[in-house]
Amino acid sequence: MGDPYLWEHCVLGITILGYVVLAVNAYLNRRKRMRLSEESKTMSECERCSVEVAKSLVPASSVPEHRFRGMHLKMSSMRIEFENLSVKLKSNKKCILEGVTGEFRPKRVAAIMGPSGAGKTTFMNALCGRAYYGTTTGMIRINGQTSSIAAIKPLRGFVPQDDIVHEHLTVREQLYYSARLRNEEDTPPAMINNIVEDVLNVMQLLDVQHSLVGDVEKRGISGGQRKRVNIGLELAARPTILMLDEPTSGLDASTALEIIRSVKRLTAIGMTVVMVVHQPRYSLFTLFDDLLLLGLGGRTVYSGKSEGALPYFRHLGFQMPQHENPADWVVDVISGKVWNEKDPTLSRKLPEAWAEFMPNLTALLIDLEMQDTAEEQIDSFAFTMALDAKLSSAGYKDIDDLSQEQFLSFLEFLQIQKPSDAAWAHLTERMGFEDGFISQQRLVSFLLGLTGSFSSQDEAEDVASEASNMTKQRFISWIRRKKPRLGGHHQRFLFQYLILLHQNSLRWARDWKHKLISTCLSMFTAAVFGTQCKQKLIPENILCPGKISTSQLALGLVCGVVSLQIFSLDRPLFWRESASGVGVAAFYWARLTVALFDVLVWCYLYATVWVSFAQAPCSFWLWLIPFRMTALCASGVGVFMSTVVPKQSTTLATTVLLLVMGGALSDPESIAESEGLGSALAFLSPFTWTAGENYLAVIEVSGGEEAVDFFAIPIMEGYQKILQCLGGSALGYLHSASIFCSIFGVILLMFGYFGLRFVHRGKQA
């Protein structure tokens, strides 16, 4: 006969292997961070050298500090038009947004402003299909097609006001996982890394790319950097339209200005940026191209170019004092705090005034969209003349081709620090050295390319070609889908599951201190309850069934409460990821897979310590198996509660439910008689099955039923009735308990999945 506990040895081996894999993954990730840090340093050094050469030749040239390599938008441009957009609350039918009409044009930054209670965030939510708390009416057109922004999630980025980020991941890791999950499944790894590099550079996060974000208890990056990460998570998806809900809230004026400047850079690659802001300072106000002003009651009081707002209100008779912040003054006008000598009642009629004036808007505003077609020719000529002059001064007159040694000497002449060997090799490849030489014409072409948004002219052309592939017919078919799919393709569950599993394994490794504390507390609990069971685990002792049941209940409470952390603390994070296209099933099962190893380890340690202190009879495995069934069922209770109960009440709700299920064991007469609520609770409680299996096993190895104390006979008979319900004595008590607890655990996990998927469904839009 083979080993009867072969399966248990396999489970133990799988658990140990799982912990080893988690530890090795953490080590490999650390090595990868070091490699990526060196590569990022090399790229930054190469960029620095290139920019310094261009600035040394033509100081007045417009050369950005970083050129995009991976931020290729999925669609070249997007125009959003909205007409009579309104929202009524479902609770009291109150209209909080009424008849808002306007448009957001591509490659521009649009700001939504207004006093508190004007419906700015409501308007943003209605536009994105996130106003789950109200009924939305009106029409939205995307590039001329009637649709909604919710129908094009892969092309949309929504940055919430709260900084919802992964606290246990580094800045770079967060951006990497966002890029991996929210771009097409077949996106090459090199492309993903380029996207991450672009986001790190444009959001000025290179210096903290390997720093943990942290939380209130464990300090990580600063508040401004956390806000940049919050925005960067959406940029990693390469959206064509980026929507931000008060991205400057809680920031000082200087940090807010830097962040908006960084975001404005994205318009150069075709992105449309729309943001809700609250009374920005003047320097920030000047960065906005378009402005939508909402008055009290959620009605439009102005919609158009930002430079046209002041002339419009002056036209109405409002006078702005000198040295006043235009943004503050405009909000004060809308709030009714500015006196109008022309019409003192006009402050209450601004929406009507705008509706009357809107047809004449074109006559008032001046179109400032001018393009200088000769700029490229001037820059090319300027670079050519400057390069000739500098080469002549350096002693390389009338030389058409420069060798690498000559170019390094030229850098020294320009007083530019020589790059490292790795950066030099990358720079020569980018510049186009062939057989160790580069022509002056090729060098001028490279320098001229530095003034663009992309790393090379060829790449810019490829981007334009790729974006143009989004034809009108393809776009129409996309927005008419009943269920939009991430990146235009259905990403398989396994693809997202493996990425999220890797992400959660890093979270597990970073949370080792908490894991250690939880493990020590579970072992301490086992020692306390095991000591109380010493010399009492015999049929002759009336306390035997009670001690077994309390030991099972103790383990259940430990596992149930600890399992609350799997989802209850990260619900906002899940809502954000689900809204961006991450599958609920992949998120759910990836979290559970990593948590399962912790539960199994706690079972082994709890059982080992308890059996040792209790000096328990029977085989170790006969105690371990029921303990594991208890732990898995209690963890299922914790998971279910963490998905459906408000965060503030999850601990109490889990404890109460487990105590109620455990309390069913204290009514042996109802178990024996199979009557009443107590009997029903006993049958449905996993503690009945696990503790009953333990108690009946003790009876079997310690003298049989004849040795049972007279007052414990009803308990024994009650356990026997319950455990024989699934097949009688032929199946065996251990197998009966295993079958019931498996069914119970699976049902709870499925309830947890449905709770995560359908509770707060509106927040996942």
pLDDT of residue 473: 52
What are residue 391's DSSP bridge partners?
A: none
CA distance 190 to 139: 40
CA distance 686 to 673: 19
Q: Is residue 485's pLDDT more than 60?
A: no
Which residue type is seen at 227?
K
Mapped onto helix, strand or coil, the DSSP state of residue 158 is strand
CA–CA distance, 696 with 622 (Å, rounded to integer):
11
- pLDDT tens for 329-379 read 988 889 888 888 888 888 788 888 888 887 665 544 444 444 433 344 446
Give the separation between CA 385 and CA 293, rounded to whole angstroms.
Answer: 49
Q: Sorting pLDDT into bands at 50, 70 and 90, what band is 474?
A: low
Of 125-129, 358-362, 609-613, 670-674, the poorest mean pLDDT is in: 670-674
DSSP type of residue 617: -
* Residue 22: CB atoms within 10 Å: 17
The H or E element that residue 139 is part of is strand 134-142
Give φ, ψ of 303 to 5 degrees: -150, 115
On the question of pLDDT at 647 being above 50, the answer is yes
Asked if pLDDT for residue 124 goes beyond 80, the answer is yes
DSSP string, 247-302: TTTT--HHHHHHHHHHHHGGGGGT-EEEEE-SS--HHHHTT-SEEEEEETTTEEEE
Please say whether the beta carbons of 26 and 509 come within 8 A.
yes
Q: Are 687 and 552 in contact (CB under 8 A)?
A: yes
As a whole number of angstroms, the distance between CA 187 and CA 200 comes to: 19
pLDDT band, very low/low/confident/very high, at 388 (cuts 50, 70, 90): confident
3-class SS of residue 209: coil
Is 282 in contact with 327 (CB distance < 8 Å)?
Answer: yes
Residue 648 carries which DSSP code?
G
Q: Among 365-374, 410-419, 452-461, 649-658, where is mean pLDDT lowest?
A: 365-374
SS3 of residue 137 by DSSP: strand
Q: Is 136 helix (H, G, I), strand (E, B) or coil?
A: strand
Give the residue with greater pLDDT, 213 vs 373: 213
State how far the alpha carbon of 701 is from the alpha carbons of 9, 196, 539, 698, 712, in Å: 23, 63, 10, 5, 17
DSSP string across 407-475: HHHHHHHTT-PPPPHHHHHHHHHHHT-BTTEEEHHHHHHHHHHTTSSBS-HHHHHHHHHHHHTS-HHHH
pLDDT at residue 319 tops 80:
yes
Highest mean pLDDT among 272-276, 398-402, 463-467, 715-719: 272-276
Which pLDDT belongs to residue 153? 81
What confidence score (pLDDT) does residue 669 get?
52
pLDDT, one tens digit per residue, over 676-707 is 666 677 778 888 888 888 888 888 888 788 88
pLDDT at residue 195 tops 60: yes
Asked if the model's pLDDT at residue 441 lies above 80, the reply is yes
End-to-end CA distance of the chain: 57
What would the two tokens of residue 736 be? 């009966």
Q: pLDDT class for 667, splitting at 50, 70, 90?
A: low
The single residue listed with the structure tokens 């459906």 is 644
> Please, are residues 75 and 475 in contact by the beta-carbon 8 Å criterion?
yes
Phi first, then psi: give them for residue 212, nearest 5 degrees. Answer: -70, 145
Structure tokens of 394?
């350096």
Please give the pLDDT value at position 558.
93
Top pLDDT among 753 and 581 is at 753
DSSP state letters, 357-393 = HGGGHHHHS-------TTHHHHHHHHHHHHHHHHHHH
Lowest mean pLDDT among 323-332, 366-375, 508-517, 571-580: 366-375
For the stretch 520-540, pLDDT in tens is 999 999 999 999 999 888 888
Per-residue pLDDT at 85:
92
What mean pLDDT comes out for the span 109-119? Answer: 90
How does strand 145-146 pair with strand 95-104?
unpaired
3-state secondary structure at position 96: strand
Per the CB < 8 A criterion, the answer to whether 479 and 156 are in contact is no
| Amino acid 282: pLDDT | 84
Q: Is 597:676 a contact under the CB 8 Å cutoff?
A: no
Per-residue confidence (pLDDT) for residue 239, from 0 to 100: 92
Most trustworthy range by pLDDT among 70-79, 183-192, 664-673: 183-192
Q: What is the pLDDT of residue 586?
A: 93
- pLDDT over 50 (residue 566): yes
What local confidence, expressed as pLDDT, does residue 117 receive?
Answer: 84
pLDDT reported for residue 530: 93
